[in-house]
Amino acid sequence: MKLKTLTLFAILLAANTALAHAGHYHAPGFLDGLAHPVTGLDHLLATLATGLIAFGASFKAVSLVEARRTAMMISTALVTGFVLLHGYAHVLKTPEAAASYSIGLGIATVALHAATAGLGFLASVSVEERSRLLR
């Protein structure tokens, strides 16, 4: 394995999950759910990474190679399982207003995904194209 890959795995394995929401109280309500992905390091990093991956993914290219497609399906299933369990843990902590909290959390997450994908797009086009698109 490359040194970068080993370093990445070491960082991921050594991550201190307690830092994600240190001193973070899950108050019930829409606004707290809306703020959660921005104030929690785990959500912020995950949503930014997802936005960049979504921008960079060429779904046509992925579907051309069966091994890559199978790997994508397996990794998607694993990530989806993690997301469901992680979301379930959040809902358990905020039973009073779980619905409004979850809606706010979802809206903020989608907004972060879209913003990151947009920034990835803007970073990938030339300055001339960018100025033409933003007119």
Q: What is the pLDDT of residues 26-38, one digit of tens each?
A: 666 788 878 877 7
Res. 18: pLDDT tops 70: no
Mean pLDDT of 62-73: 60
Residue type, 17: T
Between 106 and 37, the more confident residue is 106
Residue 7 has what pLDDT? 75
Residue with the bigger pLDDT between 126 and 69: it is: 126
Domain residue ranges of the chain, discontinuous segments joined by + = 27-133
Exposed / middle / buried, residue 26 (Cβ in 10 Å: 0-12, 13-18, 19+): buried
Q: What pLDDT was estimated at residue 57?
A: 62
Q: What is the pLDDT of residue 15?
A: 58
Amino acid at 69: R
